[in-house]
Structure 1
Amino acid sequence: MKQVITVILFALAFTSCNSQLETDIVSVSGRKIMVNKIPYLIKGICYHPVPKGSDKVDFTNLTQDLALMIEAGINTIRVYVPIDDVKILDEIRDAGIKVVIGFGYNQGGKNDILSGSFIQYVNTFKNHKAILMWELGNEYNYHPEWFDGDMKNWYKAMNNAAGLIHENDTNHPTTTAHGELPDALALSMSPNIDVWGMNVYRWDNPEGIFAEWKAVSKKPMYLSEAGGDSYMTITKAGFKNGLNEKAQAAATLKILQKTFANTEINSGVTLFSFTDGWWKAGSNTTQDIGGWAPNSSGVPYDGTPNEEFWGIVDINRKKKEAYTVLKEQYSNVNKQGN
Structure 2
Amino acid sequence: MKYITFILLFAFTFTACKSELKNDVVSISGRKLMVNEKPYLIKGICYHPVPKGSDKVSFDNLSKDLALMTEAGINTIRVYAPIEDAKVLDQISDAGIKVVLGFGYNQGGKNDILSGSFINYVNKFKNHKAILMWELGNEYNYHPEWFDGDIKNWYKAMNSAADLIHQNDSNHPTTTAHGELPDSLALSMSPNIDVWGMNVYRWDNPEEIFQQWKSISEKPMYLSEAGGDSYMTIAKAGFEKGRNEKAQAAATSKILTKTFANTNINSGVTLFSFTDGWWKAGNNTTQDVGGWAPNSSGVPYDGAPNEEFWGIVDIDRNKKEAYTILKEQYLNLNKKDY
Query: What's the TM-score once normalised by structure 1's chain length?
Result: 0.96
Q: Deviations over 1:294-322 (max 9, x none)?
A: 00000000000000000000000000000
Q: Secondary structure at the match of 2:313?
A: coil
After TM superposition, list the pairs within 5 Å mapping 1:138-177 onto structure 2: 138-177=138-177
Change (3 A) 1:99 1:337: same
- Alignment gaps of 5+ in structure 1: none
1:192 is aligned to 192
* C-alpha displacement of 1:16: 5.2
* 2:219 alignment partner AA: K
2:14 is aligned to 15
Q: Deviations over 1:156-181 (max 9, x none)?
A: 00000000000000000000000000
Q: Secondary structure at the match of 1:301?
A: coil
* 1:121 alignment partner AA: Y
Determine whether 1:101 maps to 2:101.
yes
1:278 is aligned to 278
> How many residues end up aligned between the 2 structures?
336
Q: Deviations over 1:90-110 (max 9, x none)?
A: 000100100000000000000
Q: Secondary structure at the match of 1:308?
A: coil
2:304 is aligned to 304
Change (3 A) 1:219 1:286: same
Counterpart contact for 1:198–1:225, Cα < 8 Å = yes
1:243 is aligned to 243
Query: What's the TM-score once normalised by structure 2's chain length?
Result: 0.96
Change (3 A) 1:117 1:7: same
Counterpart contact for 1:20–1:129, Cα < 8 Å = no
* 1:235 alignment partner AA: A
Q: How well do the aligned residues superpose, as a CA RMSD in angstroms?
A: 1.6
Q: Deviations over 1:236-291 (max 9, x none)?
A: 00000000000000000000000000000000000000000000011000000000
* C-alpha displacement of 1:337: 2.4
Question: For 1:332 and 1:12, how far apart are their aligned partners in 2?
Answer: 42
- Range 71-80 or range 9-18, more displaced: 9-18
Determine whether 1:253 maps to 2:253.
yes
* 1:211 alignment partner AA: Q
Question: For 1:11 and 1:327, how far apart are their aligned partners in 2?
Answer: 45
* C-alpha displacement of 1:86: 0.3
Change (3 A) 1:14 1:88: farther
* 1:118 alignment partner AA: F
Question: For 1:236 and 1:71, how far apart are their aligned partners in 2?
Answer: 32
* 1:177 alignment partner AA: A
1:208 is aligned to 208
* 1:334 alignment partner AA: N
1:49 is aligned to 49
1:35 is aligned to 35
* C-alpha displacement of 1:23: 1.3
1:316 is aligned to 316
2:24 is aligned to 24
2:120 is aligned to 120
* C-alpha displacement of 1:35: 0.4
* 1:144 alignment partner AA: P
* C-alpha displacement of 1:336: 1.1
Q: Secondary structure at the match of 1:164?
A: helix
Q: Secondary structure at the match of 1:119?
A: helix
* C-alpha displacement of 1:18: 4.9
Question: For 1:130 and 1:88, how far apart are their aligned partners in 2?
Answer: 10
After TM superposition, list the pairs within 5 Å mapping 1:67-106 onto structure 2: 67-106=67-106
Counterpart contact for 1:135–1:177, Cα < 8 Å = yes
2:337 is aligned to 337
Question: For 2:168 and 2:135, how far apart are their aligned partners in 1?
Answer: 15
* C-alpha displacement of 1:15: 3.4
Q: Secondary structure at the match of 1:248?
A: helix
Question: For 2:66 and 2:19, how far apart are their aligned partners in 1?
Answer: 19
Counterpart contact for 1:272–1:310, Cα < 8 Å = yes
